[in-house]
Amino acid sequence: MLRFIQSLARDERGVSALEYSVLAGIVVVAVAAAGAIFGGTDGLPALFQSMVTKVTSVQNNGH
């Protein structure tokens, strides 16, 4: 029984799943924070529209 517990302690197969879970949690928190900062009905959509407009103008002026 002791050897089984020691082998479980050394097993690193589940570590990557834990790392991905933590990373996913960080992404969720970042998206929620961005939603709170740019909240409202016009905040985030207006930001993306502004970015699209700027990228489009740069593309049109570059050609």
Position 8 scores a pLDDT of 66
Q: Percent of the chain scored above 70 by pLDDT?
A: 79
Indicate the SS3 state at residue 39.
coil
Rounded to 10 deg, the angle between the 43-62 and 15-37 helix axes is 90
Position 26 scores a pLDDT of 95
Is the full-model pTM beyond 0.85? no
* Average pLDDT estimate for 47-62: 87
Token couple for 15: 């570590």
Position 53 scores a pLDDT of 93
